[in-house]
Amino acid sequence: MGRRRPPVAILPDPVSDSSCISLALVHKLNLSCSFGISGVLTTTDLRVPTNDGGYSSHRSFAVSYGLASGIVLGDDWFAACEPILANDRSRTLRPPPDVDRLSPRHLWHPTKCSPFL
């Protein structure tokens, strides 16, 4: 059985163009990085909880040197997963009605999960 990683802080920000992860979290979780056109990237699995389940996403994140800790989910993730947000946009409530059409890299499960990588 795989090692379960600790919960992380996730900030939903559909106004940001792209999702990013803090350098501190990359070091804490010992994630490998690569260099891309847009800078330093890391690829990992992510779980994002909702009121009645949670998303599992496998994706690349830009490594942010200015982000204190955690992950910012940007428009790239929101466009792929189309979650329904709380009125204050602080958390994802549930998936879209047509959750079956999500790409294979983004799944939704009807069981509760903690936000972790």
Total domains in the fold of the chain: 1
Q: What is the pLDDT of residues 79-106, one digit of tens each?
A: 888 888 887 777 777 777 777 778 778 8
Asked whether residue 58 is domain-assigned, the answer is: yes
Position 109 in a domain = no
Domain for residue 93, yes or no?
no
pLDDT (tens digit, 9 = 90+) per residue, 3-42?
566 678 888 888 889 999 999 999 988 888 988 777 888 9
Q: Is residue 108 part of a domain?
A: no
Give the CB-side neighbour count of residue 12, counting CA atoms within 13 A: 21
pLDDT score recorded for residue 1: 41
Domain that holds residue 42: 10-87
Would 63 be classed as within a structural domain? yes
**What's 38's domain CATH number?**
2.40.70.10
Name the region of 78 (left: φ>0; alpha: ψ -120 to 50; beta: rest): alpha
The verdict on residue 96 lying in a domain is: no
Is 115 a member of any domain? no
Q: Is residue 97 part of a domain?
A: no
Residue among 76, 30, 38 at smallest CA distance from 57: 76
